[in-house]
């Protein structure tokens, strides 16, 4: 369960509470689509997912613990006894996994790595991918904002931490632009 939950967080940028709130009806693996209902700001949205995440969730769904309540509204991610996950349990497992993997911050940062950081990583990785694809990143930012469930693009900007990889891709884009302009002078 925890592996499938982490893959969902990494692969979609969902908030932890959104992923934990998914019901069986919200996870449409045939269409590779998640329905996030009444999340932050009481908004609902559709979240398309890629083929690798779809397959990982399909494998989890086949072998997951049977929910204690049956039906479409039972939780998708469940504990061994079939009950819904709690924030406390998920946080505890993440801290144990982080410690076992030796993942920690030693740079004086305020927080150790958190589950919410997967959301930040997802947003930055999406931008890097768009730069590499040659996409119009400025035009696509509102789509990323909608995908993440933000009301305003300013909320998405908080997630876009400048990483060396993102800076490198942005620099390449600017360099191509600047060099092409030099030849037109």
Q: How confident is the model at residue 54 (pLDDT cuts 50, 70, 90)?
A: very high
For residue 1, the number of C-alpha atoms closer than 13 Å in the C-beta half-sphere is: 21
Q: Which residues contact 123 (CB under 8 A, 6 or more apart)?
A: 13, 144, 148, 156, 159, 160
Mean of the per-residue pLDDT values of the chain: 89
pLDDT attached to residue 53: 98
Q: Is 116 a catalytic residue?
A: yes
Residue 152 bears catalytic tag = no
* Inter-residue contact 147 to 154 (CB < 8 Å): no
111 is catalytic: no
Q: Tens digit of pLDDT for each residue in 79-111?
A: 988 888 999 999 999 999 999 999 988 888 788
pTM for the whole structure: 0.84
Residue burial 124-138, b: 16+ Cβ < 10 Å; e: rest: bebbbebbeeeeebe
On the question of pLDDT at 68 being above 80, the answer is no
Identify whether 120 is a catalytic site residue: no
Are the C-beta atoms of residues 94 and 85 closer than 8 Å to each other? no
Is the separation of the CB atoms in 45 and 36 below 8 Å? yes
- Catalytic: 184? no
Is 53:7 a contact under the CB 8 Å cutoff? Answer: yes
Length of the chain counted residue by residue: 185
Task: Tell me which of 116, 158, 172, 176 is the catalytic residue.
Answer: 116
pLDDT-derived band of residue 158, with 50, 70 and 90 as boundaries? confident
């Amino acid at each position: 369960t925890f592996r499938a939950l982490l893959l969902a967080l990494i692969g979609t940028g969902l908030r932890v509470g959104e992923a934990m709130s998914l019901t069986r009806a919200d996870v449409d693996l045939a269409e590779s689509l998640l329905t996030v209902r009444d999340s932050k700001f009481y908004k609902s949205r559709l979240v398309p997912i890629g083929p690798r995440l779809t397959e990982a969730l399909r494998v989890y769904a086949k072998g997951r613990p049977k929910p204690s309540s049956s039906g479409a509204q039972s939780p998708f991610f469940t504990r061994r006894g079939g009950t819904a996950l709690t924030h406390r349990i998920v946080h505890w497992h993440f801290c144990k996994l982080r410690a076992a993997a030796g993942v920690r911050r030693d740079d004086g940062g305020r927080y150790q790595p958190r589950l919410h950081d997967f959301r930040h990583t997802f947003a930055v990785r999406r931008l890097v991918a768009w730069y590499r694809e040659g996409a119009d990143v400025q035009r696509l930012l509102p789509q990323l904002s909608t995908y993440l469930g933000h009301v305003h693009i300013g909320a998405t900007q908080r997630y876009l931490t400048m990483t060396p990889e993102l800076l490198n891709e942005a620099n390449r884009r600017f360099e191509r632009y600047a060099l092409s302009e030099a030849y037109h002078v």
